Amino acid sequence: MGDLAVIGQAPVMAGDPVDEVMVNGMASESKENVEGLINGVVELTERVKRRAKRPSKFMTKELSRANSDTQVIAPLRALKNSRKSRNGFGRGLPKKGGAGGKGTWGALGSELAEEELDGAIDSNDPNYDEANPENREYKIKVINLDRSNEELQKQISSLVAEYFDHGDTHETYLSLEELQVSTRAHLVVVSAVELAMEHKPSHREMTSVLLADLYGHLLFEPHYAKGYDTLIKNLNELVLDTPEAPTILGNFIARSIADDCIPPKFLQGYKGKVDCEHAVVTLARSDSLLSMRHGLVRLDNVWGVGGGTRPVKYLVKQMVLLLEEFLSSSDIAEATRCLQELEVPHFHHELVYEAIVMAIEKMDTRTSSMMCELLDSLHRAIIITPTQMRAGFLRVYEDMPQICVDVPPAYTILEKFVLQCQTLRIVGDDVVKKLPVRGRKRFVSEGDGGRVKDDAYF
């Protein structure tokens, strides 16, 4: 509005001489009153400045329809897609350089800028380091080189225990190298063997593989010799925790000789120089393993054939041999020990399957009763879980059409065997209800009406 005031119909500028002015169609009575009125209107106009409101979407649409010919109002789509700030501030640029918003990755190339910064350089950042403004990260691992042998053995034992979980010898080698055990590398042999004595045979096999893989990298011949010499001297203490320590240590020494980690003359140096009875047992065990026929080749299985890393066909063969040996010896304890040494609890259903099939194929009362007795013993000792027992029976049910081709009375034998197991509570009623029924082809010449005749095999 500036200094322009409108009174009635005539424009009057502030400060101009006014003699007589028409106000609302009537002449004013005094000149002073008119000047005061003009100054008041001017002051009011200068004081009140209202911000223009943005038209609503509804009003914009209506106005755009009404003024479609004049192009005074911008189209609604142009207003919607406009990046200009609604509050009247800003230059109309997008937020955060176009990289803002929820769930966005950031501007293109921002990750490179963050890598170049290499940390927080803003003093307001909680990660800001006053002593090191550039906040460079220096990965410095402090290792106490003055640690005792006991402390070092604890660290080595923890790494070997981790190796039992992942089985990666290269990763274990890198971890041992970080410990800087080169001056006392023989403690690796001592710690690994002592820890393996407390574990199962599959872990002892893994320990032998680890010791063989470390040869030429972290361990050398003097380290093996010194480590085994330390273990032989500590046998009196090791026997307290592991009664079989002399035999286990003898297996480790023989395996290391077979892996070319130490020469065979290692055993010759102890002849006539050992007084401890446990050490004598250890050396005799090693010597007997190495002197037997094809001893170096057989030492690959010195810790047994167990573990989930063995081939399935090999495990099946071992279970069949186990059952055949049980039929000849009737020794349930030995059969149980052999099954536990396989260390495949998830594969025990194979033993149940082979036992039932063997009872069907033998077709005699002695085999069926012995297999029931073995399964009952393993079931009561919870060596074979109910889930594995049930899975073994169901596998036999599924294969009955193929088994019946070789053994015609297979269905009758299976029924009697399952009922006998039910009496001993080896299996539940749900397994008995799923017992397959023998299908029989009826002939017109038969006068039995399709009845199944009793078999005389029992």
Same domain, 253 and 274: yes
Q: Is the pLDDT of residue 13 over 90?
A: no
- Structural domain ending residue among the three candidates 281, 301, 321: 301
Let me know if residue 53 belongs to a domain.
Answer: no
What is the pLDDT at residue 26?
47
| pLDDT the model gives residue 58 | 46
Quick one: pLDDT band at residue 69, thresholds 50, 70, 90?
very low
Q: Are residues 259 and 332 in the same domain?
A: no
Inter-residue contact 54 to 88 (CB < 8 Å) = no
Q: What mean pLDDT comes out for the span 161-183?
A: 90
Query: Which of 121-129's residues contact partners 24+ apart within 8 Å by CB, and which partners?
Result: none
In angstroms, the Cα distances linking 218 to 14, 166, 177, 254, 351 are 102, 20, 7, 20, 43
Residue 120 located in a structural domain = no
The full DSSP string for 44-99 is: HHHH--PPPPPPPHHHHHHHHHHTTTTT-SPPHHHHHT--S-TTS-S-SPPGGGGT
pTM equals 0.53
Do 259 and 181 share a domain, yes or no?
yes
Q: Is residue 20 part of a domain?
A: yes
Q: Of 209-213, 245-249, 268-272, which range is least confident?
A: 268-272
80-118 confidence digits (pLDDT tens): 555 555 565 656 666 656 666 666 666 666 655 554 444
Q: What is the pLDDT of residue 172?
A: 93
Say if residue 263 is in the same domain as residue 338.
no
Tally of structural domains, the chain: 3
Q: What is the amino acid identity at position 418? A: V
If asked whether residues 262 and 338 sit together in one domain, one would say no
| The pLDDT of residue 292 | 83
What is the average pLDDT value for the chain, to the nearest integer? Answer: 77
Q: Which residue has the higher pLDDT, 438 or 261?
A: 261
Both 324 and 407 in one domain: the answer is: yes
What is the per-residue pLDDT for 138? 46
Better-predicted residue by pLDDT, 288 or 136: 288
- Helices of type H across 234-347: 235-241, 245-258, 265-268, 277-291, 295-298, 312-329, 332-342
Whether 176 and 152 have beta carbons less than 8 Å apart is answered as no
Quick one: 250 and 356 in the same domain? Answer: no
Q: Is residue 131 part of a domain?
A: no
Answer yes or no: is 205 within a domain: yes
For the chain, what percent of residues have pLDDT higher than 70? 62
> Do both 290 and 319 map to the same domain?
no
- The β-bridge partners of 12 are 5
pLDDT in tens, 15-28: 444 444 444 444 44
Does 180 lie in the same domain as 285? Answer: yes
Q: Would the pLDDT of 360 be above 90?
A: yes
Q: Which of 155, 160, 166, 267 is nearest to 204 (CA)?
A: 160
In 3D, which of 101, 99, 118 has the Cα closest to residue 109?
99
Look at residue 310 and tell me whether its pLDDT is greater than 80: no
Q: What pLDDT does residue 378 have?
A: 94
pLDDT in the model for residue 183: 84
Examine residue 377 and state whether it is found in any structural domain, yes or no: yes
Decide if 368 is inside a domain: yes
pLDDT (tens digit, 9 = 90+) per residue, 121-148?
555 655 555 555 554 554 445 556 678 8
DSSP states of 186-211: HHHHHHHHHHHHTS-HHHHHHHHHHH
**162 and 192 assigned to the same domain:** yes
Say what the pLDDT of residue 222 is: 93
CB contact at 8 A, 357 and 396: yes
In this predicted model, what pLDDT tens digit does every residue of 212-255 receive, in sequence order? 999 999 999 999 999 999 999 999 999 999 999 999 999 999 99
In this structure, is residue 77 part of a structural domain? Answer: no
pLDDT band (50, 70, 90) for residue 54: low
- Pick 43 or 298 by higher pLDDT: 298
Residues 297 and 166 in one domain: yes
| Residue 265 belongs to domain with CATH number | 1.25.40.180
Domain that holds residue 420: 312-433
Q: Are residues 163 and 249 in the same domain?
A: yes
